[in-house]
């Protein structure tokens, strides 16, 4: 059985492609952080939702995302995901990002994304 975090990522990818931001936001913690691009972050669900809406427009409402290989490392209520995240859009040829995601398990037993950094090590030196 796949790790619950893997299922959450599959759900998030589907929601991003469908531009279903209501479902997407259910997968993030209240105080989560999203790397919009190296050096630029959105913090908190409202800001992250706004960022995803802008990203959808930027990619001409044709963003596709899926994962090509993932590994989960779990310690207590924290999980780190290493993923090869494949992204494409009408105005963006396919790129593979070495993404890093952190999920935390809440008292309700649900894993939610607290740190969403699809750029991985590309952010070093960019803040």
CB of 52 to a copy of itself, least distance (A): 17
Closer by beta carbon to a copy of itself, 19 or else 36: 36
Helix, strand, or coil (residue 125): coil
Q: Are 27 and 11 in contact (CB under 8 A)?
A: yes
Closer by beta carbon to a copy of itself, 17 or else 102: 102
Long-range (24+ apart) CB contacts under 8 A made by 47-55 are 48/116, 49/21, 49/24, 49/25, 52/16, 52/21, 52/24, 53/21
Closer by beta carbon to a copy of itself, 94 or else 124: 124
DSSP element (H, E) containing 3: none
Closer by beta carbon to a copy of itself, 19 or else 102: 102
CB of 51 to a copy of itself, least distance (A): 15
Q: Residue 105 — φ and ψ, nearest 5°?
A: -95, 125
Write out the residues near a copy of itself by the rule CB under 8 A: 29, 31-33, 35, 41, 43, 69-71, 73-76, 78, 80, 82-84, 98, 100, 102, 104, 114-115, 117, 120-121, 123-127
Q: Are 25 and 8 in contact (CB under 8 A)?
A: no
CB of 18 to a copy of itself, least distance (A): 25
CB of 79 to a copy of itself, least distance (A): 8
């Amino acid at each position: 059985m796949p790790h619950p975090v893997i299922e959450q990522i599959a759900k998030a990818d589907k929601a991003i492609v469908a531009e279903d931001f209501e479902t997407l936001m259910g997968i993030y913690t209240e105080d989560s952080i999203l790397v919009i691009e190296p050096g630029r972050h959105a913090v908190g669900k409202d800001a992250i939702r706004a960022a995803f809406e802008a990203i959808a427009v930027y990619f001409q409402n044709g963003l596709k995302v899926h994962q090509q290989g993932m590994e989960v490392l779990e310690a207590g209520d924290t999980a780190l995901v290493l993923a090869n995240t494949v992204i494409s859009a009408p105005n963006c040829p396919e790129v593979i990002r070495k993404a890093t995601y952190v999920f935390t398990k809440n008292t309700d037993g649900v894993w939610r994304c607290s740190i969403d950094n699809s750029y991985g090590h590309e952010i070093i030196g960019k803040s």
